[in-house]
A = this chain, B = another copy of it.
């Protein structure tokens, strides 16, 4: 790559690091004023924002994107109003920074406090939807982190217009450096690669987008990454599942919003309950347009009952369909359900439907996933449904954050120790 591109990214990260050090001790009131000002600026800037977005939409249409793809890039007055309101909601949340997480004294008199602090500089690498630019900037700012945003080329102009508004809102607030939020001024892949090696300046990378982007970031970055690969989520209807509840939960998990990561992709049914339970669940799903891909045992039951279904291929058992497709298998026992999920799910969200508390507790203890539900839809793995008031993503990692990531998950901690001259003997 040309040295100047690497230098551009490095200079940007140096400015971000300086901004992060200042931002770490900015007051909550100051951050919230900047956020409310941003919301007002968005409300007052529909014309230039829509104009910038129009340039991106024209290029997308000329580039042959489908109408559904173009729509994901589109800003509208209603979407901008919604965006401004979401910024106001974040401003109204409690500041996560400064909370004393633990506090204790040692026999030698040292007082130790573990205090929540910002992570530092966070790089967010994302694709497509323009609201991500504002969402990520706002969540990073509220949690005291400097943000480096690197959006996709499809919305280059929209991102630039939104980032300018963010910087305008920050610049008017004394004490908050404008460089607290910066946009990488190029979508060149080489610039991204250079950014992902700046582990002395950037403390965390959050990729948001398809699995290809996330894998590229995870494989390239020497900076710690918080990521979410796939949501291959299971619903397991146990022997003692209440049929009406199993139907309601399975239908909701699959159908309510099939394109998101916490939608169910697979149904397991206990073989001893399958004769009565599976036809009911299958009819409810098929009547809502769901295509079932069944193992031979499930297929035999559905064939007997005359319910539409297809045969599953081996890869269907670990596929994130993100559509109205559901893999279906029978299992001989609770333990087989657990082993199947631990082998084939993506560790994101899995649910058991059962009237048996012992089975539920065993399932929750043994299933190795971020969120394990008993008698509730997988769709509840979500920062807003958890009551966090905001969400930057859902982590399938084990370190730092696992499950929904709100403002607290955008923070680190440090230890403050007060002494009276103590030394080690």
Residues of A participating in the B interface, judged by any CB pair closer than 8 Å: 21, 24-25, 104, 106, 110, 112, 117, 119-120, 199, 203-204, 218-219, 222, 224-226, 242, 244-245, 248-249, 251-253, 256, 342, 360, 364-366, 368-377, 379-381, 385-387, 397-400, 402-403, 412-424
Contacts and interface: CB of A to CB of B under 8 A. Distances in A.
A423 B360 CA distance: 18
Given A342-B21, A402-B413, A403-B415, A423 B375 contact: no
A13 to B, nearest CB: 14
Contact of A204 (B117, B365, B381, B399): B399
Contacts of A24: 365-366, 368
6 contacts: A24-B368, A203-B397, A248-B421, A369-B414, A375-B419, A385-B424
Contact of A25 (B365, B397, B422): B365
Given A372-B414, A374-B416, 11 more contacts: A25-B365, A106-B387, A119-B399, A120-B398, A256-B424, A371-B414, A372-B415, A375-B418, A375-B421, A376-B419, A403-B415
Contacts of A400: 399-400
A365 B24 CA distance: 8
A343 to B, nearest CB: 9
A424 to B, nearest CB: 4
Nearest to A145: B398
B110 A226 contact: no
A256 B419 CA distance: 18
Given A371-B414, A423-B256, A219 B218 contact: no
A91 to B, nearest CB: 22
Contacts of A21: 342, 366, 368
Q: How many chain copies does the complex carry?
A: 2
Contacts of A381: 415
A242 B251 CA distance: 70
Given A225-B224, A397-B224, A399-B119, A249 B373 contact: no
A370 B112 CA distance: 12
Contacts of A366: 21, 24-25
Nearest to A387: B106
A123 to B, nearest CB: 13
B110 A417 contact: no
Contacts of A218: 199, 222
Contact of A414 (B106, B399, B403): B403
Contact of A224 (B199, B248, B399): B399
Nearest to A227: B224
Contacts of A245: 421
B249 A398 contact: no
Given A399-B224, A412-B399, A242 B421 contact: yes
Nearest to A375: B419
Lowest 9 A-B CB distances belong to which pairs? A376-B419, A252-B423, A399-B400, A398-B412, A400-B400, A245-B421, A379-B424, A375-B419, A373-B417
